[in-house]
Amino acid sequence: MWRPVEADSGEAVDWQDSDWPLLIHGAAGSGASFFTVVLAAELVRRGEPVIFACAKSEAVRRLQAELAIRQPTVRGRAVTIKNEAKLEDSQLVTVHFDRPAGLRQAITSIRDWTERFIIVKNIEHTMSPETWPQFKSHRRLVLAGDLGLVNKMIAPDEVKSTIAFSDLPRDWPFQRPKLPTYVGQFRRSDQSEQTVMVAEQRLVA
C-alpha cells in the first residue's frame, strides 16, 4: 500500500478542506501520475465518494490494484457514455474517456456527482475550454496533468493548491525548486510550502 507523505518527515500528508481544488502538475515521467492514483486511493480508504476520470485505462487498473478492488469493502464500477445507471451507491466510480465531451457527459450522468471528489487525470486530453467551465467551481476537485499542454486553460486563481512534480509554466505564481524526480513541491492556499512524495506503507497483520 502506498500513501502520500511529506518528503522530509515521512509523515502522511495532512489534507485540509482548504486544499481543494488541487492541481497536480507534472510532465511525463515526473511522478505526478502515480501520486494522483495514490491520492485517489487514499480518499477512497477514508470513506470519501470518488469519481476517478482518466484518458488511459492503465490508470484505472493501477487504482484498482492499489485498492485491492476485489475486496467487498470497496465497490468500483465504470460508467460509459451509454450507461447512465444510477451509481450513487458505489463509493468509487471510474470513468475512462479520451474525449472531453464524452467524459463530461459520463461524469454528469452520475446523480450525486456534485457531492463527490472528482479526480481528473490527463487534463491535456480530458479537459477542454468548452468543458472546463462546468467543473471549475466544483469544490472537491483534483486535476492532474501537464499544464504546459493545456494552453493556459486553467488560471492560477481557479485552484486553491498546487503540487508541482516538474517545472511550472513561467506565468504560474510560484516555481518548483530543484528537487529529485518523484518529489513534488506542494503550495497550499495559505502560501505555505512543503515537499511531498509517495511512500510504501506495509500493513501490519
- Helices and strands in the chain, H and E counts: 5, 10
Q: pLDDT digits over 115-170, tens only? A: 999 999 999 999 999 999 999 999 999 999 999 999 789 999 999 999 999 999 99
Scanning the structure block, which residue is given the C-alpha cell 447512465? 84
CATH architecture of 2-200: 3-Layer(aba) Sandwich (3.40)
Residue tagged 516555481 (cell numbers)? 175
Sheet holding 117-120, edge to edge: 2-6, 193-200, 184-187, 161-164, 22-25, 141-145, 117-120, 50-54, 92-96, 76-78
Nearest to 29 by CA among 186, 202, 182, 185: 182
Query: Who contacts 191 (Cβ-Cβ below 8 Å, separation ≥6)?
Result: none
Burial of residue 161 (number of CB atoms within 10 Å: 0-12, 13-18, 19+): buried
Task: Give residue 57's pLDDT.
Answer: 82
Tell me the pLDDT of the chain (205 aa) as tens digits.
899 999 999 999 999 999 999 999 999 999 999 999 999 999 999 999 999 999 888 888 899 889 887 543 334 455 544 443 445 568 898 888 878 888 888 888 888 899 999 999 999 999 999 999 999 999 999 999 999 999 789 999 999 999 999 999 999 999 999 999 999 999 999 999 999 999 997 655 4
Q: For residues 122 and 55, is the Cβ–Cβ distance under 8 A?
A: yes
3-state SS, residue 54 = strand
Cis, bond preceding 21 (omega within 30 deg of 0):
yes
Domain range summary for the chain, segments of one domain joined by + = 2-200
Block residue for cell numbers 481528473: 120
- Distance, in Å, from the CA atom of 43 to the CA atom of 15, rounded to the nearest integer, reads 10
